[in-house]
Structure 1
Amino acid sequence: MLPIYLLEDDDVQRENYIKFINNSIMINDANMQLKLATAKTEGLFDSCVAPEKGIFFLDMEIGDNNTAGLDAAERIKKEVPLAQIIFITTHDELSLVTLERRIAPLDFILKNKGIDSIKKSINNDIVLAQKYYNNFAHHSQNLFNYRIGSRFFNVLMDDVIILFTEKVAPGQVTLITKNQRSAFSGSLNSIESVYQDLFRCDRSYLVNLDNATTYDSKNRILTFIDNSTCKVSFRKGRELLSILEEKNISK
């Protein structure tokens, strides 16, 4: 589900935007949720815990700071790689500054055009953002994405062999591909929910069966193209045999 964040310090305007956003989600049957509506940039970053994507409706002026929303957008672009930013502001003169800072907003909604125009623009932006993310998901479905610190990486799903965790390193996932080995913070449960083509053969292993070569069903050992192996749980053994028969992998 795509999260939406709203930064607006005027109480009346914020309530209007909340209503517009929620109505647009419902009308368009969008797979989105308004996660936060706040009056302060601090509240925005306290609640926005390093997502990889999101829609951000930002007022440009917060309190006495004419560029608070602009500064927030700059930080969002660094921390949220797939962020879509929409400014709602009276400061049309700052539109060029967004180019100078390379923020590249999806839209620049002017408050002085009236509430009906704002409502229409918010709806159009939600529809456009949904199309953007759908297109991205379609083109990136063969990529595995992960994050180390503030840097994001992706590898071809065809190259992924194994992901596993170890008791000695809780909260860390090790990735083995055809060309590299990496470790990053995460959990197999969250990865499995996103990359459903990977097979959970054991509590500690997620594997790409397209890169499996043989399966020793007696000892429940699965071997891969790089000669790495992993144990298959008794519970998953029958399911694995059925899949391997379809893939014509030797047992």
Structure 2
Amino acid sequence: MDVDLKNNMNGIRLGEQIRELDSLGFIIFTTTHLEMSYLAFKYKVEAMDYVIKEDYDFKQRIESCLLKAYNTYYKGNHKEGYISIKEDTRIINIKLCDILFIETTGVAHRIRVHEENRQFEFYGNLKDIQKKLTSNFYRCHKSYIVNKDKIEEIDIKNNKIIMVNGEECYVSFRYKGGLLS
């Protein structure tokens, strides 16, 4: 954001208002007015950087900031989370990023978790498990929840999802639209 917006409000004040709405947003100021940099501190904007337009490395600094912001945002949204499952006399901690999909079994209230190299079962229901999962998991069928990050291919004609390890699960007509969007 430029400090001089050629308006009755400067970029620093606008940054202050943005900060009130988004405490975690990334703000990079660009300007030819080095003397105004102290205002970013005065108004507690917490800018990521204050880049002078005439600097020889202007483009490189902006790119560096954008890359850092992207990586910070991406990692924040894909934290290595866990869910804990109680099974008889043990508690199983499952790393969310290891799950390919979760399905119901033929036995009432029995759930099977598929990871790339293992599967295990426990008593529970998909509705309760779904509440513990992050946004990259999608209920694609009444019997399946799939990790969208682990999908290799979607066979639209046959209503199948092929995972990165070759395993398949189904997607119902009802949920297919949400998965494809």
Following superposition, the deviation at residue 144 of structure 1 comes to: 2.6
Code of the aligned partner of 1:240 = L
- The whole-number CA distance in structure 1 between the counterparts of 2:110 and 2:85 is 12
Match of 1:179?
A: 117
1:206 aligns with 2:132: no
Q: Name the structure with the higher helix share.
A: 1
TM-score of the superposed pair, with normalisation by structure 1: 0.39
Aligned residues: 103
Percent identity, aligned pairs only?
A: 26
- The whole-number CA distance in structure 1 between the counterparts of 2:95 and 2:117 is 11
Following superposition, the deviation at residue 141 of structure 1 comes to: 6.2
Which runs of structure 1 show a deviation greater than 3 angstroms over 4 or more consecutive aligned residues?
A: none
- The whole-number CA distance in structure 1 between the counterparts of 2:170 and 2:119 is 19
Match of 2:130?
A: 192
- Give CA deviations for 1:131-162 in whole Å, capped at 9, x if unaligned: xxxxxxxxx86113212112111121111011
Code of the aligned partner of 2:88 = G
- The whole-number CA distance in structure 2 between the counterparts of 1:165 and 1:184 is 10
Q: Which runs of no fewer than 5 residues in structure 1 stay unpaired?
A: 1-139, 243-251
2:107 aligned residue (169, 177, 180)? 169
Code of the aligned partner of 1:224 = M
Q: Which runs of no fewer than 5 residues in structure 2 stay unpaired?
A: 1-78
SS in 1 for 2:175: helix
- The whole-number CA distance in structure 1 between the counterparts of 2:152 and 2:80 is 24
Give runs of aligned pairs for residues 227-242 of structure 1, distance below 5 A: 227-242=166-181
- The whole-number CA distance in structure 2 between the counterparts of 1:203 and 1:159 is 22
SS in 2 for 1:214: strand
Q: Is the 8 A contact 1:163 1:207 kept in 2?
A: yes
> Structure 1 residues 141, 226: CA separation in 2 closer, same or farther (over 3 Å shift)?
closer
- The whole-number CA distance in structure 2 between the counterparts of 1:156 and 1:179 is 13
Greater C-alpha radius of gyration: 2
SS in 2 for 1:237: helix
Aligned residues: CA RMSD: 1.8
